[in-house]
Structure 1
Amino acid sequence: MRQALDPSLYDVSLIDALIEARAKFGDKEILEDQDRHPLTYTGLIRAAFVLGRKIAQMTDKGERVAILLPSSMGVVATFFGLHAHGRVPVMLNFTAGEANLKAAIKAAGVKKVLTAKRFIDQAKLDELIVELKTVAEVVWLDDVRKTIGLADKLYGLAAGAAPKRFRVKTDPDAPGVVLFTSGSFGTPKGVVLSQRNLVANARQVAAHIDLRPEWVMFNPLPTFHCFGLTGGVILPLLQGMKAFEYPSPLHAKQITDLLPQVKASIL
């Protein structure tokens, strides 16, 4: 327990913490969503590096890039893809409404919003996207994925084998994410958490709870929420627990049906 609270354990960037988790727990299945096509650590690292490089080609190092996606394998790969290439994820609350989202985009200095047509169609957010396009460029990840060719796949293989050679080295005290308050009391306020903050939060939880690598963490909370991101994504991935990402906490029946199917240990 004393070792778990050693501050040196937090002295690591998020992408390096993910890479180190693979070395510690082995290349096991670590991420799944309702599409039921799980990824191993290596699969996740490859996906993050390939997608991240595509996004890096249209952004600048250190740029804050917004993500407008539900809890899914896609949002996790996008989040770590930005980190692999030295960009800062800005998690947008797609339930916050047009005015609050525009305020968040302005406050964070966001130029590009990453989202997916499938999600926007299912969530019926087409009108919201029309409005967001007036303040930022909307990048469809579905279209980005269609441009992935042989050279990208070869890059992914190399990055999966030796990720520390390909990732952009970042300081643990550099920004890890920008989250926003709900806007209940006026305009949403941006909260910048460092990579050290996020790694420390996850490892502090693990210091208090005896989490086992064979367990499955079922996360229906959105990643624009601190619990959904830290507890539902970063914590399980760094502790060797498979993370099952589900897009909405409101689907009570679907969630309770899924829990035994995915052998969930923690909800």
Structure 2
Amino acid sequence: MNYSAKVDRIYTDGACSGNPGPGGWGTVAYYVNGAVHEMGGGDAQTTNNRMEMQAAIAALKFLQDFDQQDPIALYTDSEYVKNGITKWIKGWKQKGWKTSTGKPVLNQDLWEILDELNSKQVEWRYVRGHTGDIGNERCDTIARAFSLGKTPTLKTFTDQVQEPEVIMTDASLPAPVDLSDLPREGRVESLRHLVETLQMADEIASKAYLITSSELADLIDVNASAVTSRGDNWVWRNWVVSRVRREGNQILWQLERVD
């Protein structure tokens, strides 16, 4: 393997059938000269978040073999992974791997590996999934194949690969409403409603309740289409929102407190 070649960017993705259930991960490294190197694997019983993390771990291990000083962009469609490694992990470690509610941090074993492998050279970036980004789509294809027990053909170094066009999209939910123009009584009432909403979300998460897309949309005060368009895993305030399964014509979601 030509370790003298420079890596430009790496994409990672995970998939899981059932969540928990059979899962897979995919990682694709793109070189400055257009060469590509693909990696992937699977697990018979896992979760989507763990597969997202395994893909990122594979990317960081891959980079250890390169003597490269230039920054490398690492794209993930998991806000759980990006926020966890760039924001939340410092607080988790300070609290002895506990969340703000005192509960053990889920997937601590993989977070510790990611933390050890991470470096300032890596620029963690979020890319919205299933929006046509070639790198993300290829990782998704690899991950889903492994989750189904298949072994896809993975590309190794080639000099005849067209560089993908990166399509970045805005994955944010509608911005909070500016309440500064309301009278004080109105602002207090809005805050009271917000606290009740957050308490409700905490109860849903702590008791592992599954809620439908429309119920989730009502909880976070957005249109139902804004829920389903965000992908299988995303972050809302202090929670990771994960798609669990479909029952009939309903998609069921689960909240996980992570801060």
User: Scaled by the length of structure 2, what TM-score is found?
Assistant: 0.25
More helix by share: 1
Scaled by the length of structure 1, what TM-score is found?
Answer: 0.25
Q: Which structure is larger by alpha-carbon Rg, 1 or 2?
A: 2
